[in-house]
């Protein structure tokens, strides 16, 4: 997918905000100082995965363009869309169906 210029600027702004938050963090700064005081050089490389997709309707609760929605069944169970499942797995969250 080719990104338009507006989205590129938004993503660049997000990257700068993440960088600033790490640079301004006292706890990160202290941890780096502790490592340096222990006699080591510090190289910090972080990887972020940012996913996005266009929304059909900004105020819609739809979780996919196809119209699937995360919802509760009549039995009170959570019905997840394939996108929900993929997202949870990316966070290393397992989905376990309870025994009845």
Tell me the pLDDT tens digit for each residue of 20-73: 898 889 999 999 999 999 999 998 888 777 777 777 654 444 444 455 666 666
Neighbours of 92 (CB within 10 A): 6
Of residues 3 and 29, which shows the higher confidence score?
Answer: 29
The domain containing residue 72 runs over which residues? Answer: 56-100
pTM: 0.45
Pair (44, 4) in one structural domain? yes
Give the DSSP H/E element, type plus range, for residue 50.
Answer: none
Q: Are residues 8 and 32 in the same domain?
A: yes
pLDDT band of 3, cuts 50, 70, 90: low
Q: Are residues 1 and 44 in the same domain?
A: yes
Interacting residues of 38 by C-beta distance below 8 A, sequence separation 6+: none
How far is Cα 22 from Cα 29, in angstroms, rounded to an integer? 8
Write the pLDDT tens digit of every residue in 70-88: 666 666 677 778 888 888 8
Give the count of domains, the chain: 2
Per-residue pLDDT at 79: 75
Q: Are residues 36 and 65 in the same domain?
A: no
């Amino acid at each position: 997918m080719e990104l338009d210029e507006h989205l590129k600027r938004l993503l660049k702004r997000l990257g700068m905000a993440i960088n600033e938050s790490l640079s301004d963090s006292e706890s990160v700064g202290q941890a780096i100082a502790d490592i340096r005081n222990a006699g080591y050089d510090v190289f910090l490389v972080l990887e972020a995965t940012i996913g996005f997709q266009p929304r059909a309707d900004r105020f819609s609760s739809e979780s996919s363009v196809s119209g699937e929605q995360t919802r509760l069944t009549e039995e009170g169970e959570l019905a997840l869309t394939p996108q929900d499942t993929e997202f949870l797995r990316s966070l290393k969250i397992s989905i376990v169906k309870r025994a009845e």
